[in-house]
């Protein structure tokens, strides 16, 4: 099949006065990954999860089936389309979806986008190409699973494998466009906030109006945001009981209720290692506080909303249910998200804007404060882990027993009525379980956990359970290597489950990249960790940390080798890894959401500092791309950096970091 | 009340004089490139230039900014993009992009004071501009690039 030049594509396109539309099919497993949330029917086959439109002037429009939060999915899918059609990248335009333009599609979560959406989009583009070459005159094409030749997924193409900056970068650096929900401006718009239940403003300053909302809450409206942001809210302070997150207490209550591996491990002989690890609450702290704009039409019978959300269809369904509307009477526009990290998976600010706009009879913009982000948002739950392991004389793991307890991640109280919370307590929370099965072989393995309902809302946070579980597992493995007198990298290679050859390749690559076998600089510790994310993405990280005499730790260098399969855009893949590495650094060195009296006690970035530029170490990344491997996720894999850093601290100080964040005086 | 933004004079209702400049820029003038991140001067997303100095527009009242030269991200480019904006594209800095207007405004002010900053100077000048996505390494490279220095 000959390549189709831009000129010929244009010539083809000109034959179609109204253009051609291709409907992409939903990926095979298009279920809602938040089972706690209302299910939506996911038609397969002809589900119009994305549209590809060839315009008469030869440009191609891609209606994205995904949300953009800086992970680079827009540019990556454009590259796929351009590759299939063999046209210049700038002839492909990506459009964020609104709920009237595409069929319901699952949330943009879980590092699923590349794994699940490159192929449907590639198929749509390839169908268009073959259609044009066939001389057919049809103007509407549907992916019905017919055979089609894909060019973009074999790697090393004209566009696939090339680095490109994120979509809309020119608008980002000039500030000239409406990109985020808060940038949306409408004639006659008001600004509002919904008062938390039982909370009154200290005083009603000039320009503020108190209104009753349809759900029984009350809100404040203003014709300018200034007075609204000056309002001080006296939030409830009555103590609530925070259950102790303690694995020993959980185990003392009986067997942990959820089992991931259930081998019988002998408790008769001594353990080589028996360690407990503790991880605190953590906040998303995205730079964009939640924002939404709502406008009612046709006498309050039709609702239009602009928001940055990881799931526009969930927003639509929630609002439709709340206001007793049919789904088609609610239109949700997707805006670029100023940092997602799992935080934009529930519906809060959209409902608030709609309630306020209903009460005002005018469009309303809601802009959460930073304090609201901390106090009214939801957070990564704390967890407590105990790992017991036994080695044989050859340094192989014979027994592995990891028990842990955590607050909920997926079955979050932030998005569920109380009765549903009670029901889901009998089901394994897959978010808590994520990453809990180690990639190592052991003769006997027991992995079990318990989840606890907490008074502070918890939910998905970058990597879900994989960050905490990876920290516990890779800390234990590192100490086992030390107890066996083995090099930590060699120990991992020797104990890896043989089926994980791709992780082995990452370990070997990061060994070479980091100069693992070279002497460590004086005053510095070097540590390593590795892991597999969702059985499809692999990473190994080496950290060098300088620890001062007072115990103060500075991460000086991070190396990461990552295999996320086929690389569509190496620049954006590296960016995701850089972000993961910095999140790992933050988890180790500073991040702990303060809780007092069973409530979040953080209101500003002074209460919850996040890493600043001076904390950023040198970073080197190697991308591994096995021939024929499908693209997989990248946004959460390298969170294993956490344990690489704590293992480096242990190497430097001789003391293990068992509680996060690291404190100069609290090591084991 | 009149304020001068990006070289143009704008009439602002007097009752806005106590409101933070940020909200007047965004909602009265429609200059939404300047972002709200915390409202406490702790994140840098709202950074603008006031008489050439980088300031947090959430901490400056509109009245206090009157009579002074205010430059926002929208006013940085002339016929072509500012060299710092060009460097941001060349180094593919942004992920989500939300903090980047503030980062760029701080970087421009840094380079005006210190045309060839080393990494320590960059870290010191930029430590008040938070980025949650993890673009700091690229920001450093972009500042070096804009300074016309060889890439470290």
Which site among A175, A371, A582 would you substitute to test the B interface, given the most B Cβ atoms closer than 10 Å to its Cβ? A175
Structure token pair of residue A300:
């309050």
Q: In angstroms, what separates the C-alpha of B119 from chain A's closest C-alpha?
A: 9
Smallest CA-to-CA distance from A170 within B93, B11, B79 is with B93
Q: What is the CATH number of the domain that holds A497?
A: 3.30.365.10
A387 phi and psi angles, rounded to 5 deg? -120, 125
User: Does residue A135 carry a pLDDT above 90?
Assistant: no
Decide if B3 touches A, using CB distance below 8 A: no
Q: In angstroms, what separates the C-alpha of A636 from chain B's closest C-alpha?
A: 12
Terminal C-alpha separation, chain B: 48
Of A163, A164, A605, the CB nearest to B43: A605
Q: Which B residues 63-92 touch A at CB under 8 Å?
A: 72-74, 76-77, 81, 85, 88-89, 92
Please tell me which residue, A390 or A137, carries the higher pLDDT value.
A390
| Co-location of A162 and A197 in the same domain | no
Structure token pair of residue A30:
């298009």
User: Does residue A49 carry a pLDDT above 80?
Assistant: no
| Co-location of A266 and A197 in the same domain | no
A242 touches A265 (CB < 8 A):
no
Note the pLDDT tens digit of each residue in A291-345.
Answer: 999 999 999 999 999 999 999 999 999 999 999 999 999 999 999 999 999 999 8
SS3 A461: coil
Contact at CB, A226 and B23, closer than 8 angstroms: yes
Smallest CA-to-CA distance from A181 within B36, B22, B6 is with B36
Total residue length of chain A = 668
Q: A198 falls in which pLDDT band (50, 70, 90)?
A: confident
| Co-location of A50 and A139 in the same domain | yes
Is the CA virtual torsion A63, A64, A65, A67 positive or negative?
negative
User: Does residue A28 carry a pLDDT above 60?
Assistant: no
Q: Which domain holds residue A110?
A: 6-173
Decide if B29 touches A, using CB distance below 8 A: no
Decide if B39 touches A, using CB distance below 8 A: yes
| Co-location of A83 and A224 in the same domain | no
Of B15, B40, B135, the CB nearest to A370: B40
User: Does residue A242 carry a pLDDT above 50?
Assistant: yes
Stretch among A1-5, A278-282, A584-588, A604-608 having the lowest mean pLDDT: A1-5
Q: In angstroms, what separates the C-alpha of B148 from chain A's closest C-alpha?
A: 19
Contact at CB, A612 and B23, closer than 8 angstroms: no
SS3 A543: strand
**Rounded CA separation A114/A284 (Å):** 23
A282 phi and psi angles, rounded to 5 deg? -140, 150
Contact at CB, B36 and A579, closer than 8 angstroms: no
Q: Is A659 inside any structural domain?
A: no
Q: Is A241 inside any structural domain?
A: no
A332 touches A325 (CB < 8 A):
no
pLDDT for A606 equals 98
| Largest interatomic CA distance in chain A | 79
In order of A115, A179, A238, the CA distances from B34 in angstroms are 35, 12, 38
pLDDT for A8 equals 66
Q: A412 falls in which pLDDT band (50, 70, 90)?
A: confident
Decide if B45 touches A, using CB distance below 8 A: yes
Q: A87 falls in which pLDDT band (50, 70, 90)?
A: very high
- As a whole number, the mean pLDDT across chain B is 96
User: Does residue A229 carry a pLDDT above 70?
Assistant: yes
| Co-location of A316 and A227 in the same domain | yes
For B87, nearest residue in chain A (alpha carbons): A173
Mean pLDDT of A227-235: 91
CATH superfamily name and code, B83-146 = [2Fe-2S]-binding domain (1.10.150.120)
SS3 A561: strand
Stretch among A30-34, A654-658, B8-12 having the lowest mean pLDDT: A30-34
Stretch among A419-433, A456-470, B71-85, B116-130 having the lowest mean pLDDT: A419-433
User: Does residue A596 carry a pLDDT above 80?
Assistant: yes
| Co-location of A118 and A190 in the same domain | no
A589: Cα within 13 Å, side-chain hemisphere: 28
Note the pLDDT tens digit of each residue in B98-115.
Answer: 999 999 999 999 999 999
| Co-location of A316 and A460 in the same domain | no
Contact at CB, A185 and B30, closer than 8 angstroms: yes
Note the pLDDT tens digit of each residue in B19-62.
Answer: 999 999 999 999 999 999 999 999 999 999 999 999 999 999 99
Contact at CB, B95 and A166, closer than 8 angstroms: yes
Q: Which CATH architecture has domain B2-75?
A: Roll (3.10)
pLDDT for A639 equals 96
For B33, nearest residue in chain A (alpha carbons): A175
Contact at CB, B130 and A606, closer than 8 angstroms: no
Q: In angstroms, what separates the C-alpha of B54 from chain A's closest C-alpha?
A: 17
| Whether the bond into A661 is cis, omega within 30 of 0 | yes
- H or E, element range at A530: strand A524-533
**Rounded CA separation A38/A17 (Å):** 41
A24 touches A142 (CB < 8 A):
no
A191 touches B27 (CB < 8 A):
yes
pLDDT for A6 equals 53
Contact at CB, A185 and B132, closer than 8 angstroms: no
User: Does residue A45 carry a pLDDT above 60?
Assistant: no
A595 touches A242 (CB < 8 A):
yes
Q: In angstroms, what separates the C-alpha of B77 from chain A's closest C-alpha?
A: 7
For A603, nearest residue in chain B (alpha carbons): B38
Structure token pair of residue A573:
């893949």
**Secondary structure (DSSP) of B6-38:** TTEEEE--GGGTTSBHHHIIIIIS--TTS--S-
Most trustworthy range by pLDDT among A2-11, A31-40, A112-121, A353-362: A353-362
**Rounded CA separation B103/B54 (Å):** 10
Contact at CB, B130 and A605, closer than 8 angstroms: yes
Smallest CA-to-CA distance from A180 within A43, A383, A296, A340 is with A340
Contact at CB, A174 and B76, closer than 8 angstroms: yes
Of A172, A176, A575, the CB nearest to B74: A176
pLDDT for A236 equals 85
A422 touches A399 (CB < 8 A):
no
pLDDT for A47 equals 58
| Largest interatomic CA distance in chain B | 50
Contact at CB, B74 and A175, closer than 8 angstroms: yes
Chain B contact set for A72 (CB, 8 A): 95
Structure token pair of residue A666:
């609290």
Residue A660: count other Cβ atoms within 10 Å of its Cβ.
24
Residue appearing with tokens 């650096």: A173
For B62, nearest residue in chain A (alpha carbons): A226
| Co-location of A169 and A191 in the same domain | no
Alpha helices of A253-288 — where are they, by DSSP H? none
A462 touches B134 (CB < 8 A):
no
User: Does residue A36 carry a pLDDT above 60?
Assistant: no
Q: End of a domain among A346, A367, A388?
A: A367
Of B27, B33, B133, the CB nearest to A175: B33
Decide if B119 touches A, using CB distance below 8 A: no
Contact at CB, A287 and B96, closer than 8 angstroms: yes
pLDDT for A27 equals 65
For B38, nearest residue in chain A (alpha carbons): A370
Residue A5: count other Cβ atoms within 10 Å of its Cβ.
11
Q: Is A230 inside any structural domain?
A: yes
CATH 3.10.20.30, chain B: domain bounds: 2-75
Stretch among A111-125, A654-668, B119-133 having the lowest mean pLDDT: A654-668
Beta-carbon contacts of A59 under 8 Å, excluding residues fewer than 6 positions away, are A91, A92, A93
Q: End of a domain among A321, A345, A367?
A: A367
pLDDT for A102 equals 86
Mean pLDDT of B58-75: 98
Could you list the beta-strand ranges (E) of A362-467: 364-367, 383-391, 397-407, 444-452
Contact at CB, A173 and B94, closer than 8 angstroms: yes
Region class of A616: left (phi > 0), else alpha (psi between -120 and 50), else beta: beta
User: Does residue A41 carry a pLDDT above 60?
Assistant: no
Note the pLDDT tens digit of each residue in A419-451.
Answer: 667 666 678 899 999 999 999 999 999 999 999
Mean pLDDT of A191-206: 89
Bridge pairing between strands B53-56 and A302-307: unpaired
| Co-location of A307 and A409 in the same domain | no
pLDDT for A518 equals 97
| Co-location of A635 and A507 in the same domain | yes
**Rounded CA separation A78/A210 (Å):** 47
Number of Cβ pairs closer than 8 Å across A and B? Answer: 191
Q: Is A667 inside any structural domain?
A: no
Q: Does the structure's ipTM exceed the value 0.95?
A: yes
Beta-carbon contacts of A150 under 8 Å, excluding residues fewer than 6 positions away, are A84, A119, A122, A123, A126
pLDDT for A7 equals 59
Q: In angstroms, what separates the C-alpha of B120 from chain A's closest C-alpha?
A: 8
**Rounded CA separation A356/A376 (Å):** 18
For B34, nearest residue in chain A (alpha carbons): A175
Q: In chain A, how many domains are there?
A: 3
- As a whole number, the mean pLDDT across chain A is 92
What's the per-residue H, E or C state across A124-148? HHHHHHHHHHHCCCCCEEECCCCCC
| Co-location of A276 and A401 in the same domain | yes
Chain A contact set for B26 (CB, 8 A): 182, 225
**Rounded CA separation B44/B35 (Å):** 9
User: Does residue A34 carry a pLDDT above 80?
Assistant: no
pLDDT for B149 equals 66
How many helices, marked H, and strands, marked E, lie in chain B? 6, 5
| Co-location of A323 and A392 in the same domain | no
Contact at CB, A605 and B133, closer than 8 angstroms: no
Residue appearing with tokens 């959300």: A309
For B152, nearest residue in chain A (alpha carbons): A618
Chain B contact set for A614 (CB, 8 A): 123-124, 127
Stretch among A110-114, A220-224, A349-353, A596-600 having the lowest mean pLDDT: A110-114
Chain B contact set for A225 (CB, 8 A): 19, 23, 26-27
**Rounded CA separation B134/B123 (Å):** 14
Strands lying side by side in the sheet with A537-547: A524-533, A537-547, A553-563, A618-623
pLDDT for A426 equals 74
Contact at CB, B32 and A185, closer than 8 angstroms: yes
Chain A contact set for B35 (CB, 8 A): 180, 182, 287-288, 338
Smallest CA-to-CA distance from A470 within A442, A501, A439, A498 is with A439
pLDDT for A10 equals 63
CATH 1.10.150.120, chain B: domain bounds: 83-146
Strands lying side by side in the sheet with A140-142: A92-95, A60-63, A50-54, A20-24, A140-142
Chain A contact set for B89 (CB, 8 A): 165, 169-170, 173
Strands lying side by side in the sheet with A383-391: A258-262, A444-452, A397-407, A383-391, A273-279
A259 touches A438 (CB < 8 A):
no
A102 touches A47 (CB < 8 A):
no
Q: In angstroms, what separates the C-alpha of B94 from chain A's closest C-alpha?
A: 7
For A181, nearest residue in chain B (alpha carbons): B32
pLDDT for A156 equals 81
Beta-carbon contacts of A501 under 8 Å, excluding residues fewer than 6 positions away, are none
Q: End of a domain among A335, A367, A399?
A: A367
Q: Which B residues 98-117 touch A at CB under 8 Å?
A: 98-101, 104
Mean pLDDT of A540-557: 97
A597 touches A237 (CB < 8 A):
yes
């Amino acid at each position: 099949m000959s390549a189709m030049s831009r000129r010929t594509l244009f010539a083809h396109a000109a034959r179609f006065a109204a253009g051609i539309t291709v409907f992409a099919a939903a990926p095979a497993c298009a279920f809602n990954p938040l089972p706690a949330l209302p299910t939506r029917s996911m038609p397969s086959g002809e589900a119009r999860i994305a549209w590809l439109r060839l315009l008469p002037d030869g440009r191609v429009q891609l209606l994205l089936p995904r949300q953009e939060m800086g992970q680079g999915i827009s540019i990556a899918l454009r590259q796929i389309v351009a590759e299939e059609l063999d046209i210049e990248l700038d002839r492909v335009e990506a459009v964020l979806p609104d709920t009237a333009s595409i069929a319901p599609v699952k949330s943009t979560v879980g590092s699923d986008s590349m794994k699940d959406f490159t192929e449907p989009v590639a198929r749509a583009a390839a169908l268009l190409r073959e259609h044009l070459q066939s001389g057919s005159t049809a103007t509407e094409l549907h992916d019905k699973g017919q055979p089609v030749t894909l060019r973009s997924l074999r790697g090393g193409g004209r566009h696939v494998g090339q680095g490109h900056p994120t979509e809309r970068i020119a608008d980002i650096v000039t500030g000239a466009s409406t990109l985020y929900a808060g940038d949306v401006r409408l004639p006659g718009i008001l600004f509002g906030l919904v008062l938390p239940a039982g909370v009154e403003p200290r005083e009603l300053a000039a320009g503020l109006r108190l209104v009753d909302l349809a759900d029984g809450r009350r809100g404040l409206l203003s014709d300018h945001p200034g007075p609204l942001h000056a309002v001080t809210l006296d939030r409830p302070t009555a103590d609530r009981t925070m259950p102790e997150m303690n694995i020993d207490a959980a185990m003392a209550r009986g067997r942990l209720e959820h089992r991931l591996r259930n081998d019988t491990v002998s408790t008769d002989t001594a353990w080589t290692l028996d360690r407990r690890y503790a991880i605190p609450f953590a906040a998303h702290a995205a730079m964009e506080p939640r924002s939404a704009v709502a406008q009612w039409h046709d006498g309050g019978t039709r609702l239009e909303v602009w928001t940055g959300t990881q799931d526009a269809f969930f927003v639509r369904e929630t609002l439709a249910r709340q206001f007793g509307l049919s789904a088609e009477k609610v239109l949700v526009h997707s805006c670029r998200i100023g940092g997602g990290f799992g935080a934009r998976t529930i519906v809060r600010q959209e409902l608030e804007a709609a309630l306020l706009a209903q009460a005002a009879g005018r469009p309303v913009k809601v802009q959460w404060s930073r304090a609201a982000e901390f106090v009214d948002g939801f957070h990564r739950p704390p967890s407590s882990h105990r790992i017991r392991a036994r080695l044989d004389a050859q340094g192989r793991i014979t027994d592995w027993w990891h028990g842990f307890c955590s607050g909920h991640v997926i079955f979050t109280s932030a998005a569920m009525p109380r009765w549903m919370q009670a029901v889901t307590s009998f089901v394994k929370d897959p978010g808590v379980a994520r990453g809990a099965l180690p990639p190592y072989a052991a003769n006997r393995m027991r992995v079990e956990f318990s989840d606890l309902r907490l008074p502070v809302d918890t939910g998905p946070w970058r990597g879900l359970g994989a960050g905490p579980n990876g920290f516990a597992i890779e800390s234990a493995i590192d100490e086992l290597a030390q107890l066996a007198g083995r090099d930590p990298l060699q120990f991992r290679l020797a104990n890896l489950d043989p089926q994980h050859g791709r992780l082995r390749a990452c370990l070997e690559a990061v060994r070479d990249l980091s100069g693992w076998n070279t002497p460590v600089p004086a005053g510095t510790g070097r540590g390593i960790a590795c892991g597999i994310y969702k059985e499809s993405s692999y990473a190994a990280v080496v950290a060098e940390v300088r620890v001062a005499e007072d115990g103060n730790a500075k991460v000086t260098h991070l190396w990461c080798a990552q295999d996320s399969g086929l690389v569509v855009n190496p620049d954006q893949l590296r960016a995701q890894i850089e972000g993961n590495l910095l999140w790992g650094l933050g988890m180790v060195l500073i991040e702990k959401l303060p809780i007092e009296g069973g409530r979040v006690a953080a209101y500003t970035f002074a209460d919850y500092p996040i890493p600043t530029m001076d904390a950023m170490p040198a970073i080197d990344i190697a991308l591994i791309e096995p021939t024929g491997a499908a693209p997989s996720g990248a946004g959460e894999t390298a969170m294993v950096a956490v344990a690489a850093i704590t293992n480096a601290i242990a190497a430097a100080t001789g003391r293990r970091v068992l509680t996060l964040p690291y404190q100069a005086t609290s090591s084991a | 009340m009149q304020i001068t933004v990006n070289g143009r004079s704008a009439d602002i209702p007097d009752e806005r004089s106590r409101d933070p400049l940020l909200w007047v820029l965004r909602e009265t003038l429609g200059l939404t490139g300047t972002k709200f991140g915390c409202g406490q001067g702790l994140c840098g997303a709202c950074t603008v230039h006031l008489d050439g100095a980088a300031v947090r527009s959430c901490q400056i009242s509109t009245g206090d900014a009157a009579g002074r030269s205010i430059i926002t991200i929208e006013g940085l480019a002339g016929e072509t993009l500012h060299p710092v904006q060009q460097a941001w594209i060349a180094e593919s800095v942004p992920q989500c992009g939300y903090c980047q207007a503030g980062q760029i405004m701080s970087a421009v002010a840094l380079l005006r004071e210190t045309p060839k900053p080393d990494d320590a100077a960059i870290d010191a000048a930029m430590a008040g501009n938070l980025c949650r996505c993890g673009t700091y390494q690229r920001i450093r490279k972009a500042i070096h690039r804009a300074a016309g220095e060889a890439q470290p």
